Chain A
Amino acid sequence: MNKNNVLDRYYLDCRCMLLELAATLDRYDRAALPPRGVKPVDERLLRLGRAIAILSQASAQPDRTQRILQLLSDPDL
């Protein structure tokens, strides 16, 4: 596949996933606060934000997937 073929085949899927991600973050913003005693800022949300930043970063290697999976991994080996 050449680069155009990739977009031809996967653009609509990416558009859909992007909208799902946006809708989920909107849903989070609209949702009520958690019960007292629970931290309002969830670490998972911060990780998603860092992962989204990786998506838009240019890279010498096509390694966004690997970098995001490492970001979302337990840091303790």
Chain B
Amino acid sequence: MYYIQPHYHGISRTTQDYARMAQAGVVAVAEPSFWAGFDHQYAGSFIDYFRQISEFEPTRAAQYGIRHFCWIAVNPKESENLSLSREVMTAMPSFFDKPTVLGIGEIGLNKNTRNELVIFQEQLELAIKYRQLVLIHTPHLADKRKGTQLTLELLHNLHADPQRVWIDHVEEHTIKAVLDAGYWAGMTLYPTTKMSPSRAADMLEIYGSERLLVNSSADWGPSSPFTLQECAMEYRSRGHSEQELIDVFHNNPARFLGQSSKFDISPIGLSPEPIANSTSARP
């Protein structure tokens, strides 16, 4: 079984994660820019962070045979500071040509404030101008429903191409609106407090796997990259085939991220014919 982990924050994880993910079948990860647990004070801090995830982190993952891609952005939580956000945004285009940068993300809303909306819109316009893929964070807990609605309205007003936009952290009360509008939807699994592997398996069964992504968003908080494998086990235990698993956990990320020419991992199809073993192949 091969996995692509489409939302993973490697800079806050130990190298042991990469070793264990490789052992567990992960062939690639994509690392969005996010909040590091405290607010950056300087634009240069963001630039160094973008350098870290676009230049250094791929070398760390490569030691274990894992491809590492990334997204750059001012994350929603820090976008409250308009002047700092705009200073960072002027430097972002210089990263778009780097070989592992897939697009702009995660942008979006955290507390649904006016300033967050302003920077969200400006980063979306930047993505449209430079034809970048977009990864959108939706708020957690009580702010999610309103934040998702505001997100959908903004995307509609800007005429964003739904096929190139992934709206993340959907749950039962937001997934339908996202899929109905034609966007990709991501379900983010956590060991506690938020989406669980069994609930994600439920939604795969209810809505089907088309334009649905599953990720673990392992970061500096209580989280684990292996909730992805837990979800695959849950899905398999309900009788879903190996090809269905590969479609969800490998091929769907390959399909969405593969819209960037830099992401060169193709979907996998299992052969319908059994492959002869070495004994029977001998004369």
Q: Are B199 and A23 in touch, CB under 8 angstroms?
A: yes
How many chain B residues have a CB neighbour from A under 8 Å? 11
Cross-interface CB contact of B193 among A16, A23, A26, cutoff 8 Å: A16
A1-50, CB < 8 A from B: 12-13, 15-16, 19-20, 23-24, 26-27, 30
Q: Given known contacts A23-B198, A23-B202, A30-B206, what 6 new A-B pairs fall within 8 Å (CB)?
A: A16-B192, A19-B196, A20-B199, A23-B199, A27-B202, A30-B205
Given A26-B202, A27-B202, check contact A20 B196 (CB 8 Å).
yes
Tell me the complex Cα distance, A26–B202, Å: 9
20 examples of A-B residue contacts, CB within 8 angstroms: A12-B141, A12-B192, A13-B193, A15-B141, A15-B193, A16-B192, A16-B193, A16-B194, A16-B196, A19-B199, A20-B196, A20-B199, A23-B172, A23-B196, A23-B198, A23-B202, A24-B198, A27-B202, A30-B205, A30-B206
Looking at chain A's contact residues, the main secondary structure is: helix
Q: Interface residues of B: mostly helix, strand, loop or mixed? A: helix
Which B positions have Cβ atoms within 8 angstroms of A?
141, 172, 192-194, 196, 198-199, 202, 205-206
Annotate A32-70 by CB proximity to B: 1 below 8 A, 0 otherwise: 000000000000000000000000000000000000000
Question: What residues of B have a CB within 8 angstroms of the CB of A27 in the complex?
Answer: 198, 202
Q: Given the complex of chains A and B, what is the CA–CA distance between A16 and B206 in angstroms? A: 20
Closest Cβ neighbor of A17 among chain B residues? B192
Nearest-neighbour CB distance to chain B for A6, whole angstroms, equals: 16
B190 (CB) vs chain A CBs: closest residue = A16
Residue of B nearest to A23 (CB): B199
Q: How many whole Å from B195's CB to the nearest CB in chain A?
A: 9
Kindly report which residue of chain B lies nearest to residue A15, judged by CB atoms: B193
Closest to B140 in A: A12
Smallest beta-carbon distance A36→chain B, Å: 20
**Which residues of A have CB within 8 Å of B205?**
30
